[in-house]
Chain A
Amino acid sequence: MSVEVRVPTILRSHTGGQKVVSGSGDTLAELFENLDAAHTGLKARIVTDEGHLHRFVNVYVNDEDVRFIGGLEAKLSDGDSVTILPAVAGGM
């Protein structure tokens, strides 16, 4: 199985500048574990030592914010698209 992962500019130092990388895992936690093998340090930027998503990082599976679908335990399927974005102020 393979999942496409979109990486924001600010984290591309871990992916050799690549905007999109692929990885695998049945859950988001497994995916980040898998990604970290090829892209050292990426996981630590997204997941805290306590095992939660970093407060200023948002992760989406097929455009759904994962905090509402199980967080790091969110299930993944082959062909899913994962997007990582920094939390920024919106329109106001």
Chain B
Amino acid sequence: MTRFADITATLGDTPLVGLPRLSPSPEVRLWAKLEGANPTGSVKDRVAAKMIEAAEDEGRLTEGSTILEPTSGNTGIAVAMLARRKGYRLVCVMPENTSAERRQLLTAFGAEIVFSPAAGGSNAAVAKARQMAAERPDWVMLNQYANPANEAAHYEGTGPELLRDLPGITHFVAGLGTTATLMGVGRYLTERVRDVQIVAAEPRYGELVYGLRNLDEGFVPELYDEKVLTRRLSVGTEDALARTREVLAAEGLFVGLSTGAVLHAGLALAREAERAGRAADIALLVADGGWKYLSTGAYSAGLDAAVDTLDGQVWA
């Protein structure tokens, strides 16, 4: 059935597509779960719906409430769409070094944006949001880094969809941000699939983003449980960008930059399986499409120029 009551009902059940041209052999296969197919174009639609539903059930959100949330873009956009439909006001705190499209989309969906300084990246956005929340106790912070509904969206949605579509799954790879995708899908799969590997692809940004004043300002999301992961791989801007272009050229898949990082890790796992003579079905989480990154030159500028532009940004 492809008829829906309204746009919010199209959430989830995203396509899982093969990447035969990038897969090393018929026995070692890569698959991409296209979360850009969600209502506002990213995996965060799942999370926004679940967190808002939970806050409504708890009575924290009522008509006219103001939601406050730090975001590098996707969560804010997803929350903004639902907030406007439901009559909530949304204030987003976003690092100033994010792509122009993210700002424009937030504005288009009716969110108000408060910028946090570029240095410190998302850390600075979280700190500023916490400070604002302390000053405005009547505002509701969904707090995606600590909200169990964030993980539940993946345990109840993304995970079951993956196992249904790829019963022989051997590896799951996703980007590491709030960590909820890896925690939720990871727990779901580990409980059901023997020896499944849960692999984090962690974006390694330019130095600006790590510009903390001291190490105690560091941040580990409350949701993060190291035991759920098998491995955690760090992927730099240049590798992520090169892979983003590679999957576009080879498979015709137009994806955002976090997917480049995920693909880079996935290809390393595929090579290892190939060398060891093991069959593998490796699922990659494609968090969003490429639309929001066009202005960065990610798909059009020379590789070096694009890396320079992206290196100071929170690109995932």
> Quick one: which of B74, B217, B221, B232 contacts A67, CB cutoff 8 A?
B232
Q: Is the CB of B216 within 8 A of A56?
A: yes
The interface residues of chain A lying within 8 Å CB-to-CB of B220 are 55-56, 87
Q: Is the CB of A91 within 8 A of B177?
A: yes
> Quick one: which of A56, A57, A60, A90 contacts B178, CB cutoff 8 A?
A90
Question: Least Cβ distance of A73 to chain B in Å?
Answer: 16
Residue of A nearest to B236 (CB): A63
A10 to B207, alpha carbons, bound, how many Å? 10
Q: Is the CB of A88 within 8 A of B233?
A: no
The interface residues of chain B lying within 8 Å CB-to-CB of A54 are 215
- How many pairs, one residue from A and one from B, have CB atoms within 8 Å of each other in the complex? 107
The interface residues of chain B lying within 8 Å CB-to-CB of A55 are 218, 220
Q: How many residues of B contact A (CB 8 A)?
A: 49
**Provided the pairs A56-B216, A57-B215, A65-B232 are in contact, do residues A92 and B210 lie with their beta carbons within 8 angstroms?**
no
A64 within 8 A of B: yes
Residue of B nearest to A45 (CB): B215
Q: Is the CB of B75 within 8 A of A92?
A: yes
**Provided the pairs A57-B215, A92-B144 are in contact, do residues A63 and B234 lie with their beta carbons within 8 angstroms?**
yes
A9 to B214, alpha carbons, bound, how many Å? 10
A84 to B156, alpha carbons, bound, how many Å? 35
Q: Is the CB of A86 within 8 A of B212?
A: yes
Question: Least Cβ distance of A76 to chain B in Å?
Answer: 17
User: Considering the complex, which residues of chain B in the window 209-261 have a beta carbon less than 8 Å from any beta carbon of chain A?
Assistant: 209-221, 226, 229-235, 258
The interface residues of chain A lying within 8 Å CB-to-CB of B314 are 91
Residue of A nearest to B120 (CB): A88
Residue of B nearest to A60 (CB): B234
Q: Is the CB of A90 within 8 A of B202?
A: yes
A 62-92 to B, binary, CB cutoff 8 A, 1 in contact else 0? 0111011000000000000001011111111
> Quick one: which of A45, A67, A90, A91 contacts B226, CB cutoff 8 A?
A67
The interface residues of chain B lying within 8 Å CB-to-CB of A68 are 226, 229-232
A67 to B144, alpha carbons, bound, how many Å? 24
B70 within 8 A of A: yes
Interface size band for A:
20 to 34
B203 within 8 A of A: yes
A8 within 8 A of B: yes
Q: Is the CB of A90 within 8 A of B177?
A: yes
Q: Is the CB of A89 within 8 A of B122?
A: yes
**Provided the pairs A57-B215, A89-B121 are in contact, do residues A9 and B75 lie with their beta carbons within 8 angstroms?**
no
Known: A90-B177, A91-B316. 13 other contacts (CB 8 A): A10-B211, A54-B215, A57-B215, A63-B233, A64-B233, A65-B231, A83-B234, A86-B215, A90-B122, A90-B178, A91-B177, A91-B203, A92-B72
Query: Ordered nearest first, which 8 A-B pairs have the shortest CB separation?
Result: A56-B218, A90-B177, A65-B232, A89-B122, A91-B316, A91-B177, A87-B218, A91-B72
What are 26 contact pairs spanning A and B, CB under 8 A? A8-B210, A9-B207, A9-B210, A10-B213, A10-B214, A56-B217, A56-B218, A64-B233, A65-B232, A65-B233, A65-B234, A68-B232, A85-B210, A88-B120, A88-B123, A89-B122, A89-B123, A89-B125, A89-B219, A90-B175, A91-B122, A91-B203, A91-B316, A92-B70, A92-B145, A92-B178
